[in-house]
Amino acid sequence: MGDGIIEAMTSSGEAVSAADTPPKKPRRGRPPIIRSNDVVGAALALTQVESLSGWSMLDVARRLNVSEGAVYRYFTRRDLLADAVSSAVLADIVLLGDEADPWQRIEHTIDEAWDRLLRHPGVAARLLEVGFVVPSALRMVNHLLGALLDAGLEMKDAANSASIIVSWLAAAVQLRYRFELGLPTDADSSDVEQIANFPHLANVTASTDDSSASEGQHLEDLRIVISGIRSRQG
């Protein structure tokens, strides 16, 4: 039997040593406990590296070390998770209080959103595609609407103007991103077409096809849009 320590006795009384005993299979540990915020955080981290369209639900699951089904438990479709990521990108935008000048509130909101969207141009594309319907985007739109109303615009004009601002903002981010990558930024771009329906923008042309365009040209064009809206005040 060898020199092994007696581990057990068989039914016939034969001693069995530890050396003769097959090793026990290690117990599988419990899968990591995740929450919806963990899923969004993992997708956001992938977005920062791969862009919003560059990851799959399986990629998110692998990053969390869980099964793909665990991710689908919280988000039954990829587009729902993409919307949650879009909302997360804009969630920390700082909005000025009502005591600030309405136009200052508008300018500040644009600067805050521009900074976030420029780091995540895929989110800007997503917002153009589905609209500013995710929670943090709606928060931003409602803030702009309130500022425009405080500035003296009627509700219909304020609502139209808020829509113009956020649409132009997202499109300008996309155009800036294409410009930096040397991609076509002509008037046939789908994001330009989406804002072309606003007649207020007919006289505003972003200098995206000019190689000498300054770094802030696209944001400056947005300020021209704001000036046009402001000229209609009252």
pTM of the predicted model as reported, rounded to 2 decimal places? 0.71
Question: Is 44 in contact with 86 (CB distance < 8 Å)?
Answer: no
Instruction: Output DSSP code: residue 200.
Output: G
Label residue 198 by pLDDT band (50, 70, 90).
Answer: very low
More confident residue, 215 or 64: 64
For residue 89, pLDDT over 90 is answered with yes
Question: Is 78 in contact with 123 (CB distance < 8 Å)?
Answer: no
Instruction: Output DSSP code: residue 99.
Output: T
pLDDT of residue 179: 74
- Spatial separation of the C-alpha atoms in residues 15 and 11, rounded to whole Å: 10
Phi-psi region of 2 (alpha: psi -120 to 50; beta: other; left: phi over 0): left
More confident residue, 40 or 23: 40
pLDDT of residue 24: 53
Q: What pLDDT, in 10s, does the model give residues 161-170?
A: 999 999 989 9
Label residue 12 by pLDDT band (50, 70, 90).
Answer: low
Domain over 36-76 is classified CATH 1.10.10: yes
Q: Domain locations in the chain? A: 36-76, 90-231
- Indicate the fold that domain 90-231 takes in CATH: Tetracycline Repressor; domain 2 (1.10.357)
Select from 100, 34, 97, 101 the least CA-distant residue to 68.
Answer: 34
- H-type alpha helices, the chain: 36-50, 57-64, 68-74, 78-90, 102-119, 121-130, 135-150, 155-181, 190-195, 217-231
For residue 112, pLDDT over 50 is answered with yes
* Mean pLDDT confidence for 5-28: 50
Q: Which two tokens stand for residue 67?
A: 């099964």
Q: Which amino acid is at 217?
A: Q
